[in-house]
Amino acid sequence: MACIVCVVGVVARQAPLGLLVATWGLPAVWREARYIFTPGDREAYESCTTLIPLLLSMREAVEEGRLDLAIVVLDSLVDKYSKEPRDRSKCYECYKSLSEILDKAGAADTYVEMVKGVERFVVELVKCLLESYGVDLRVEPRVVVAPAVGSPGGRWVFRGDLWDYQSRVLIELGELCLNKPYRQIILDLSHGINYMPALTLQLAPMLSSILLLAHEDVESVEVTVYNSDPRTEGATDRPLLLNRDKVRLNTIHLVHKRARLPELSGWARLEHERYKDLKTRLEGVFCRAIDTVKHLYTSLYYPLPLALYHLTCRESCKLLEDVWVEFKRGLEESIMIKRGEGRHEVLRPMTVDPSTLYMYYVSRALCRRLGDHDGEDLSIKRLREREGGVYELVHKALHIVVQQELRKISKHIEDLKDKGRLYECLKGSWIRLCELKALVSAEERCEELDLKKDTTRRNLVAHAGLLKDLVEIFVADDESEVRVRYRGVELRDLLETLYGELLPAKS
């Protein structure tokens, strides 16, 4: 019995699966420092990077494989730092010893090859730092090489839009969150430069939403943000505090605008004829999925559980994945390296709105959670428990509306049972909801719907899309056999009507 108690205790203490995301600028210039987690700590971690003390503070989770590490760097890291810093830290020594990897990355023929070189450099750098500080931890970081803008190092110029950074990070981390049920997201923003910390922090509610939607057993996501005190000149002996803020998220982040097709970056619009074919090709690929994306998002944004069910059928969900593989490859291959005399350029002619990418990952997350069917007629029971349950993550009020409308339908069936022979006659057949209500309440009557009317759109939202003139009910004894379906309306028309209410995205 003692052994059983012991095992249970170990399981209870096991840390939840977490994702540590660190933003890194230029490691060559990081200096040695002493880090503490609480003001007044007597013991400090000696390191040139906050990553070492953070990994040590989470040693148990790392050793158990309960913590994944993602390091976000800029592609401008390829512009090798060649100066000799005043203080030669272990970060600089590791950087210098591995700089040949950056030389090879900088000489790559394609941008994709260059990115692979930068990824390899960061992986080796992490290994070198762990060995240099004698830290016995097996860590395999996922490196996200995100787009820079301008000319941070002086020898390379990076031409593209600022939001390309956020889009790229969302693509990489969004895939991780789709595939693993993280309950913790830890952001270390201490070493991020320029816009990196702010734009990465903005992604936290999006990543949490993907996790909540994709994994039914993830009821909340704890987001912890670390940021070190700045190192000031003349205060080298003062330990630097790793400031920590924590918040628990259990609802979905919504963007209140329409999805956008990929478009030319600001600079490329001045040469639009040159990139016209590229734009047309990538638009064509993304167009195959954009209707599914915007309609799924509309079904979530408004309480439309029956539409949500039909849009997460296997066929639609497979389309989302197939299109994305082709689109992502095309987007990566569209980035070019232009070499010049002592100065090189990375050209990103195409850009994708991060809000649109977020809508795409929301759609994929919904497919992961609900996409186990082929669109057959849906039971009221499943609609209440599966699709209906999703809206509690969006807003409690929407969840109440959905559940109330479904309860009303079930009650109408129960009231019909009191009609005796009439019920027996109708059992096993489909009947319009307005007709069903008329049988149990003489005041009801059926009407034809005009989706263009403001009152119709308001009623659609107010009744979770289950309007009495819009749906049919299959009459049966058991709730698991009572089914519901749309009648006399194209689902696309219904969703386009409500999608048009969202704000158009601005350039």
pLDDT digits (tens, 9 = 90+) for 453-484: 888 889 999 999 999 999 999 999 988 899 99
- Give pLDDT, residue 233: 67
Q: Can you tell me the distance from the alpha carbon of 52 to that of 372, in angstroms, rounded to the nearest whole number? A: 42
Q: Can you tell me the distance from the alpha carbon of 107 to that of 99, in angstroms, rounded to the nearest whole number? A: 13
Q: Can you tell me the distance from the alpha carbon of 264 to that of 159, in angstroms, rounded to the nearest whole number? A: 12
Q: Among all chains, which residue has been given the structure tokens 């060649």?
A: 82
Q: Can you tell me the distance from the alpha carbon of 119 to that of 113, in angstroms, rounded to the nearest whole number? A: 10
Element (H, E) at 74: strand 67-74
Q: Which two tokens stand for residue 341?
A: 């005399």
- Give pLDDT, residue 323: 94
Cα 456 from chain centroid (whole Å): 33
Q: Can you tell me the distance from the alpha carbon of 20 to that of 224, in angstroms, rounded to the nearest whole number? A: 9
Q: What is the DSSP string of 180-217?
A: S--SEEEEEEEE--TTHHHHHHHHHHHHHHHHHHH-TT
Q: Among all chains, which residue has been given the structure tokens 């109440």?
A: 400
- Give pLDDT, residue 504: 67
b vs e for 187-224, b when ≥16 Cβ sit within 10 Å of the residue's Cβ?
bbbbbbebbbbebbbebbbbbbbbbbbbbeebeebbbb
Q: Can you tell me the distance from the alpha carbon of 183 to that of 15, in angstroms, rounded to the nearest whole number? A: 10
Q: Are 205 and 212 in contact (CB under 8 A)?
A: no
Judged by DSSP in three states, 153 sits in: coil
Residue-range domains of the chain with CATH: 16-251 (3.40.50.10640), 378-499 (no CATH)
Which whole-number Å values give the CA distances from 83 to 86, 95, 126, in the listed order?
A: 10, 12, 21
Judged by DSSP in three states, 10 sits in: helix
Residues with Cβ within 8 Å of 338's Cβ and at least 6 positions away in sequence, in order, are 344, 345, 346, 347
- Give pLDDT, residue 122: 98
Mean pLDDT of successive 10-residue stretches along the chain, which has 507 residues: 36 72 96 92 92 96 96 97 87 97 96 98 98 94 97 93 96 97 98 95 98 97 96 74 96 92 95 95 95 95 95 96 94 94 93 96 97 93 95 95 95 93 94 93 82 87 93 93 90 88 62
Q: Which two tokens stand for residue 315?
A: 């066929």
Q: Can you tell me the distance from the alpha carbon of 189 to that of 193, in angstroms, rounded to the nearest whole number? A: 9
Which whole-number Å values give the CA distances from 66 to 16, 58, 212, 279, 449, in the listed order?
A: 7, 10, 18, 41, 53
Cα 246 from chain centroid (whole Å): 19
- Give pLDDT, residue 85: 78
Residue 16 burial class via C-beta count within 10 angstroms: exposed 0-12, middle 13-18, buried 19 and up: middle
Nearest Cα neighbor of 398 from 262, 288, 254, 196 is: 254
Q: Are 203 and 169 in contact (CB under 8 A)?
A: yes
